[in-house]
Chains A and B, each alone.
Chain A
Amino acid sequence: MSEVKVAEKKSALFGKNEKKLLIDPLNDNNPITVQVLGICSALAVTTLMNKALVMSIAVIFVLAASNVLTSLLRNSIPKQVRMIVQLVIIATLVTVVELALKALDYNTFKELSVFIGLIITNCIIMGRLEAFAMANSPWRAFLDGIGNGLGYGIILLLVAFIRELFGKGTVFGFGIIGPDAGYLINTSESWLFGWYANNNLMVLFPSAMFVIGVLIWIHRGIVNKSLVDVS
């Protein structure tokens, strides 16, 4: 109920509260490392930076747009069918993203295959609609959507960076470390890195679980100790 009251208070267009909506999901309330939502796609699309970037942009768009739409309709949506209405809004936007991506970048569309469609089942989106957009103004819902989308995207890109670098020796397809001249560090010639080989585990899905686990540990143990309840 407290959230509703905050929303009703007249506030500046971009005041302290609005800023908090945008910044909070990046750290204190990160959807992946703190709320542990949206893990499915974080495992599946983080083998390459390129995939993770497209996925993040898609989720940011769907989350912000569905938050705004739900917020605009929040007083006319019948309470009894609100979940269904939210799901229809999400599914529509995801289909729009899928059709647009198929027209804009067919190769990435092929690579992401079913995972674009699976944004519908991403708990972050449904969670934000139900918990935030149903009780807040469109502008605040928009900021909340962007914030949570960014929080999701940052972790996705971080995991993809680690997995692509150690799994394939590249970042965004650009060679960093590998056994021929196309790479920045050429392991077949360098005296220092001659022992280096790509870690095949990093390409497989379980590695994302390990990487996310370690990220959560670093996040709570070093970056933001206030997250740990010491009582």
Chain B
Amino acid sequence: MAADSTRPAAAIAAPSTLRLFWRDFAANRAAVAGLAVLVLLALAAIFADLLAPYSPYEQFRDFVRVPPVWDARGNAAFLLGTDEVGRDMLSRLIHGARLSLFIGVAVVVASLALGIVLGLVAAFFPRWPAIVILRAMDVILSVPGLLLSIVIVAIIGPSLANTIVAITIVTLPNFVRLVRAAALSEKTRDYVVAARVAGAGRLRIMFRTVLPNCMAPIIVQAALNISNAILEAAALGFLGLGAQPPTPEWGAMLASAREFLQSASWIVTLPGLAILVTVLAINLVGDGLRDALDPKMRSG
């Protein structure tokens, strides 16, 4: 677990400060708890095929809407019950973890990569490239996020892949602005001037000299954006504009089970609970990272 959790720090800190980082991070017990939950979720997602007792798509027609096992009418064969067409809830939730975490990571990796390039360009080429990039980000930011992703998905069609594209576009300005601001403040430091005097090229200064020193706030932002992306993807799924049934995406599961809210509430409550726990765990880790990486942003 320790090796896993310190991996993000490896990118920004020399090995000697790694232990320092872990000490700061571990001081926040809530963050460690969040990390533990997150690791469990990640393991469930990776080994979904081994862990899930059934296929998430298999319909047991004789066992439709069986309540979870703690209910008197429950069935030990289906620990968390079955849904409206007799699919095993546990299996669907486990496979849903894979989808949701994948969406979150994919969105953040894509917008992080694009955001770093665009943000650095905006910081180092202040004339028209910066103006074009920043104006484009202003345009994205002036349409409310969820609304923009709804419109994008409506245009390119509702699907899991398009959900990722839409949320990446919506998330992009956060990273571009953050990278640019961080790069601008680093750019004038002595070590950058020294690198330039020593004859380092512009690309080298951008990516090798400045970027590593901007990573702390970027990593915190990345962590918090994973949870945001998961929430938005679930919201799109819930509106019928994200992953399409029968995909076991948590938001889509909620939407298709809505009419059973009264008679079979577990079909609705469990996927939502899964979203809440996942997002909460990631936010706890994000808060912990922020406290450990950036003393200035410490919440108190």
A binds B: no
